[in-house]
Amino acid sequence: MRRPFNVRVAGLAGLVVAMLARSAAGDGKAAAPRLADNGRAIRPLGSLGPVPVPPDNKISEPKAELGKLLFFDARLSGDVSTSCASCHDPRQGWGDGGDLSRGYPGTQHWRNSQTVLNSAYHAKLFWAGESTSLEAQANSAITGNLAGNGEPDMIEERLAQAPEYVELFRKAFGSFKPQYPDVLKAIATFERVAAVSDPGKVPFDRFLGGDAGALSAAAQRGRALFEGKARCTQCHDGPLFSDEDYHNLGVPKNPAFESDPQRQIALRWQHYIRGVDEKATYRSADRDLGLFYETKRPQDQGRFRTPSLRELAHTAPYMHNGVFFTLEEVVDFYDQGGGDDPQKDPLMKPLGLTAQEKGDLVEFLNSLSGPPIVVDPPLLPQYAVLK
Ligand code: HEC
Ligand code: HEC
């Protein structure tokens, strides 16, 4: 025991006070968990640990190198026009910089193109969390009609027609010929290696690591608000700043939805392929139903997965429909207790923040971003006519 004197003298009451103090500080080691209003234990904020890796897709240098080429290669898409990087450009914070995403030629997407930064840490992917691994997600992105619209057999043929790819697949997977499942594994490996925060460069992580000067006084006040009065850790907690749960915040509609026939087509088609009930919602729905598409439970309409808040400085605009362009707008939205929706999550409450408190909160949010994480577009393997 390190401090026998304290323990003996202070007794149980003193210990409890000390534990509560540590828990309130948020870096708590063995502190009693704080509970959110819905009874969920709030996990302390912290730095991200090593990236999770599935046992059947260990990280290796050749896989990551190959994955980088594939991420930038439009030959994975149906008409060889659209690569992952078309919508997840590292120079645009690994999104596309727009409010609603572009789509495969002839379509416009109906949601914001999410950043891929730190997706490797999420247990659920997409705005409504319907994919559970980067490998499965890459398959949806490559074959999905609004994204890559690609065809696995055709992709294998295209890759086999580029000798450099054949060699790179052999090095990475020991395969005789490029195989589609290995395409998914290589892309996922690239994302795990290249699209993750570096704790050495993120002010908040440096602060946690002992560099007291890494956070301004305003950012430190912002942190206290984040964990207290502003109620952000009710949903954004742990090292990823996400409870990985689903909530309806009443995010306002994006006017582009209303005015763009292409996006209306995408929305209605999404309703259709996701099996939304014809009478109840398909004809009348004029918005993104979120988690409801997966569960078909009425109470899940408008619920979305809590996103991470890391690297926000690079990933505007915000929310599933990109309706907010600045963090100031986001904070104003929360200050008002969120938007107008009969099914809004009861965790959303008006906050009564002062102008200075709002500024402090934004300052703290900005401390969760390091410098841009940029990967330059690589030179892609060329086709060759095979003998
Ligand atoms: C035409 C644009 C487009 C293309 C091409 C595209 N994506 Fe996306 N991506 C999106 C949009 C939009 C979303 C959010 C969709 C949703 O939630 O339904 C998304 C979501 C994601 C996510 C989830 C992020 C998270 O944290 O939940 C990942 C990972 C991702 N894309 C990776 C890829 C990869 C890998 C490729 C290439 C194989 C790719 N995307 C191709 C537009 C695109
Ligand atoms: C009730 C749970 C909940 C609370 C409380 C909450 N958030 Fe969120 N947050 C979410 C969800 C869910 C989304 C995505 C919503 C959507 O797109 O419809 C989100 C989105 C965001 C985004 C946009 C991220 C992006 O990548 O687009 C920011 C920034 C954000 N929240 C900051 C905060 C701050 C700051 C607070 C405290 C003032 C807070 N949140 C409180 C659940 C919550």
DSSP state of 213: G
Together in a domain, 97 and 178: yes
Pocket of ligand 1 contains residue 82 by CB under 6 Å: yes
Together in a domain, 183 and 278: no
Q: Which ligand is nearest to the CA of 248?
A: 2
How many folded domains does the chain comprise?
A: 2
Q: Which of 154, 173, 194 is the last residue of a domain?
A: 194
Q: Which of 194, 227, 246 is the last residue of a domain?
A: 194
Is residue 104 situated within a structural domain? yes
The pLDDT of residue 275: 85
pLDDT for 208-246, tens place per residue? Answer: 999 999 999 999 999 999 999 999 999 999 999 999 999
The pLDDT of residue 268: 85
Q: Which of 178, 194, 210 is the last residue of a domain?
A: 194
Together in a domain, 168 and 259: no
Token duo for residue 336: 């008002």
Is residue 245 situated within a structural domain? no
Sign of CA dihedral 300, 365, 360, 243: positive
Together in a domain, 168 and 65: yes
pLDDT for 119-131, tens place per residue? Answer: 999 999 999 999 9
Is residue 18 situated within a structural domain? no
Together in a domain, 76 and 159: yes
Domain that holds residue 87: 61-194
Together in a domain, 185 and 86: yes
Is residue 36 situated within a structural domain? no
Distance CA 136, CA 181 (A): 10
Together in a domain, 68 and 188: yes
Together in a domain, 189 and 259: no
Token duo for residue 32: 């009693």
Ligand 2 atom nearest to 302, measured from its CA: 18
> How many other β-carbons are positioned within 10 Å of the β-carbon of residue 10?
14
Pocket of ligand 1 contains residue 101 by CB under 6 Å: yes
CATH of residue 177's domain is 1.10.760.10
Together in a domain, 179 and 269: no
Distance CA 177, CA 167 (A): 9
Closest to 321 in 3D by CA, of 383, 266, 382, 365: 266
> How many other β-carbons are positioned within 10 Å of the β-carbon of residue 297?
10
pLDDT for 289-306, tens place per residue? Answer: 999 989 999 999 999 999
The pLDDT of residue 30: 57
The pLDDT of residue 329: 98
Q: What is each CA distance from 319 to 122, 132, 309, 328, 368, in whole angstroms?
A: 16, 20, 11, 13, 17
Rounded-to-5 percentages of helix, strand, coil across the chain: 45, 5, 50
Distance CA 230, CA 364 (A): 12
Q: Which ligand is nearest to the CA of 194?
A: 1
Q: Rounded to the nearest whole angstrom, what is the distance from the C-alpha of residue 235 to the centroid of ligand 2?
A: 8
Together in a domain, 71 and 167: yes
Name every protein residue with a CB atom under 6 angstroms from any ligand 2 atom.
230-232, 234-236, 247, 249, 251, 304, 306-307, 309, 312, 315, 318-320, 327, 330-331, 334, 345, 347-348, 361, 365
The pLDDT of residue 31: 65
Distance CA 256, CA 323 (A): 10
Residues lower than pLDDT 70 in the chain: 1-31, 279-282, 285
Q: Rounded to the nearest whole angstrom, what is the distance from the C-alpha of residue 330 to the centroid of ligand 2?
A: 8
The pLDDT of residue 258: 81
Pocket of ligand 1 contains residue 263 by CB under 6 Å: no
Closest to 130 in 3D by CA, of 114, 117, 151: 114
> How many other β-carbons are positioned within 10 Å of the β-carbon of residue 209?
12
Ligand 2 atom nearest to 312, measured from its CA: 26
Pocket test for ligand 1, best of 119, 130, 137 (most atoms within 8 A of CB): 137
The pLDDT of residue 7: 33
